[in-house]
Amino acid sequence: MSRHTFDKRVGRRVQVDPQPVLWRVDPSKSAPARRRRFRAPPTAELLDVSVSGLRVRGPAPRDLRVGTVLAIEVDGLVGRVRIRRMDPEDGGRQCEYGLELVDAQSPLTLHLHRQLSKMSDVSASQWHGSRG
């Protein structure tokens, strides 16, 4: 029996220049408060984006699991993501994460979609098909 795998991602991945992602941020705090050195959240690295999520490389604390929902910050905008995939690297100190955007209307999701639309050969109106 052969095992078939499939990709649940909506749209294709678009690679981006690596950029920092603040990892496990407190969305109730302002951006300057999140960046204070003595309480700054760990930093991950954004690798690529798709309509439904993003791929990052970041710290691998023991309490994170597939299904965990956490807040991240990209370009000063916060949004919640759900961990869908975890691939340990660097002896388990780092992990490559497949993250699903949880809230379609969060500032982070809208920002990433705007960025994606600038890089993609498919327009945003085609992402969800026609709504006849």
Summarize pLDDT for 40-60 with one digit per residue, the tens: 778 899 999 988 899 999 988
- Given this model, what pLDDT does residue 10 score? 55
Residue 132 lies in a domain: no
Residue 39 lies in a domain: yes
Q: pLDDT higher for 53 or 132? A: 53
Q: How far is CA 8 from CA 19, 62, 84, 106, 132, in A?
A: 25, 26, 10, 21, 24
Domain that holds residue 72: 14-118
Number of structural domains the chain divides into: 1
pLDDT at residue 80 tops 60 = yes
Residue 20, phi-psi category: left (phi > 0), alpha (psi -120 to 50), beta (remainder): beta
pLDDT-wise least confident of 3-7, 77-81, 84-88:
3-7
**Domain with 53 in it: what CATH number?**
2.40.10.220
Residue 98 lies in a domain: yes
How far apart, in whole angstroms, are the C-alpha atoms of residue 11 and residue 90? 29
Phi, psi of 23, rounded to the nearest 5 degrees: -110, 130
Residue 3 lies in a domain: no
Q: pLDDT higher for 3 or 26? A: 26
- CA end-to-end span of the chain, whole Å? 41
What pTM was computed for the model?
Answer: 0.75
Residue 50 lies in a domain: yes
- Given this model, what pLDDT does residue 121 score? 62
